[in-house]
């Protein structure tokens, strides 16, 4: 076992993984977040690549960089890595030697993940990634480069068989799933596949402590646009009493749980009689209309916590998200309140993002 006697190599930038087709939003977000944090550089991306890069003007310390441009701060990022090597044409007969040469002797990583972007072009690379991952781990072990106490994980991202971005993840600040994709199992009893979206949202947007504190049997929730009940099912599974608002029919087995009250009403007009612990909303509508209604719920104190989807328009999607959040903050500020907003484009989201909001 190696001891991490050498500090991490300098980073030339950050690479984030994203849903294919959202590279430009990921790049705009990197530019905006870096500018806000005073990190000099520029974002670049390629169409449908499944990732975007931020190139630093001056090389920097990877840990500081990942605290500023980390995965959990970025809506469109599934993973965020500090880039320590870029290889445009690795020789097919020996890809390992140049990659190993980028790592200083004595620098230990806890693990190595060889990945391809989640893009059509990179799909055929999955078998290669698996076998090359084994070879990489063995080579690192031989040279004493694996250290179970290291805070770092090494990632080799292969957009093609010859091209590789070598990156470091700070394990405590990184997505814990290969490719940044949580592989959630669809629960057979759940009434719709949308159930995975709320499950993923709660895993990604809340810490384990928050999940434990904010979901307790007997708590109350409202689900706006609930039918057939995939989101309600997740709440019921956690023991919550749910008022499900939708003109459409709810799943019969779910209704038999005795924890659901179905109201055939307009979700944009519905108001709870009493403050509830949770409000979730999956109504497909104009993002501004949804954002405004969600903000009213929080401004009026009708719920403590909210999870909802914002459908993205075809164009200016990043700007639309920013405007929706500004609108929400303005609505609650008029009532003298402040809210915290966290958001992610989840693996189970398509042309939308999922947002968590709560009173500060």
Ligand X SMILES: C[S@@+](CC[C@H](N)C(=O)[O-])C[C@H]1O[C@@H](n2cnc3c(N)ncnc32)[C@H](O)[C@@H]1O
**Residue from 104, 144, 176, 248 binding ligand X (CB under 6 A):** 248
Q: Which of 197, 216, 311, 315 is catalytic?
A: 311
How would DSSP label each residue in 44-86? EE-TT-SEEEEEEEEEE-HHHHHHHS-GGG-SS-SEEEEEEEE
Q: Which stretch binds ligand X (CB under 6 A): 32-40, 84-92, 241-249, 321-329?
A: 241-249
Q: Measured at CB, which residue is nearest to ligand X? A: 230
The verdict on 354 binding ligand X (CB under 6 A) reads no
Task: Evaluate whether 112 touches 154 at the Cβ level (below 8 Å).
Answer: yes
The verdict on 228 binding ligand X (CB under 6 A) reads yes
The verdict on 180 binding ligand X (CB under 6 A) reads no
- Read off the tokens for 234: 């997740």
The verdict on 287 binding ligand X (CB under 6 A) reads no
Paired sense of beta strands 260-263 and 339-344, if any = unpaired
Q: How far apart are CA 202 and CA 280, in angstroms?
A: 11
225 is in an annotated binding site: no
227 is in an annotated binding site: yes
**Residue from 3, 247, 253, 286 binding ligand X (CB under 6 A):** 247
Residue entry with tokens 């629960």: 187
The verdict on 119 binding ligand X (CB under 6 A) reads no
223 is in an annotated binding site: no
> Residue 50, exposed/middle/buried by CB under 10 A (0-12, 13-18, 19+)?
buried
The site for ligand X, by CB under 6 A, has a size of 21
Residue closer to ligand X (CB basis): 175 or 260: 260
- DSSP assignment, residue 311? E
Task: Find the shortest distance in angstroms from Cβ 344 to ligand X.
Answer: 17
Residue closer to ligand X (CB basis): 168 or 224: 224
Binding mask 267-286 for ligand X (x = CB under 6 A): xx-------------xxx--
Which residue, 182, 176, 202, 246, is CA-closest to 355? 202
Neighbours of 237 (CB within 10 A): 16
Task: Provide, for the chain, the percentages of residues in helix, strand and coil under a 3-state DSSP scheme, each rounded to the nearest 5.
Answer: 35, 25, 40
The verdict on 249 binding ligand X (CB under 6 A) reads no
Residue closer to ligand X (CB basis): 245 or 353: 245
Q: How far apart are CA 243 and CA 303, in angstroms?
A: 13
Task: Find the shortest distance in angstroms from Cβ 295 to ligand X.
Answer: 17
Q: How far apart are CA 122 and CA 115, in angstroms?
A: 10
Neighbours of 239 (CB within 10 A): 12
32 is in an annotated binding site: no
Residue closer to ligand X (CB basis): 119 or 195: 195
- Read off the tokens for 8: 């991490």
216 is catalytic: no
Looking at the annotation, which residues are catalytic? 311
Binding-site residues for S-adenosyl-L-methionine, in ranges, read: 194, 227-230, 246, 266, 282
Site of interaction with ligand X (CB under 6 A): 191-192, 194-195, 225-231, 245-248, 266-268, 282-284
């Amino acid at each position: 076992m190696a001891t991490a006697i050498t500090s991490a190599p300098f980073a030339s930038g950050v690479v984030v993984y994203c849903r294919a087709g959202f590279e430009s939003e990921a790049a705009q977000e990197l530019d905006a977040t870096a500018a806000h944090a005073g990190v000099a550089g520029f974002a670049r991306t390629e169409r449908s690549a499944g990732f975007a890069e931020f190139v630093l003007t001056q090389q920097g310390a990877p840990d500081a960089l990942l605290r500023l441009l980390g995965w959990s701060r970025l809506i469109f990022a599934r993973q965020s890595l500090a880039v320590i090597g870029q290889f445009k044409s690795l020789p097919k007969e020996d890809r390992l030697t140049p990659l190993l040469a980028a790592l200083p002797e004595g620098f230990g990583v806890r693990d190595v993940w060889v990945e391809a972007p989640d893009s059509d072009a990179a799909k055929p690379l999955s078998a290669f990634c698996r076998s090359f991952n084994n070879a990489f781990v063995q080579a690192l072990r031989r040279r004493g480069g694996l250290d179970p106490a290291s805070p770092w994980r090494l990632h080799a991202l292969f957009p093609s068989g010859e091209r590789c971005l070598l990156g470091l993840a700070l394990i405590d600040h990184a997505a814990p799933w290969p490719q940044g994709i949580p592989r959630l199992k669809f629960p057979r009893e759940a009434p719709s596949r949308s159930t995975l979206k709320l499950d993923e949202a709660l895993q990604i947007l809340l810490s384990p402590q928050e999940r434990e504190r904010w979901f307790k049997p007997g708590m109350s929730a409202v689900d706006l646009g609930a039918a057939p009940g995939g989101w309600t099912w997740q709440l019921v599974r956690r023991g919550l009493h749910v008022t499900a608002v939708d003109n459409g029919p709810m799943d019969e087995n779910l209704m038999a749980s005795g924890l659901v009250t179905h109201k055939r009403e307009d979700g944009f007009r519905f108001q709870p009689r009493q403050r509830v612990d949770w409000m979730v909303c999956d109504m497909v509508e104009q993002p501004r209309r949804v954002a405004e209604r969600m903000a009213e719920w929080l401004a009026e104190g009708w719920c403590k916590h909210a999870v909802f989807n914002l459908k993205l328009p075809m164009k200016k999607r990043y700007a639309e998200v920013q405007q929706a959040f500004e609108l929400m903050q303005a609505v609650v500020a008029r009532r003298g309140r402040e809210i915290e907003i966290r958001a992610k484009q989840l693996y189970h989201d398509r042309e939308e993002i999922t947002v968590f909001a709560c009173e500060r």
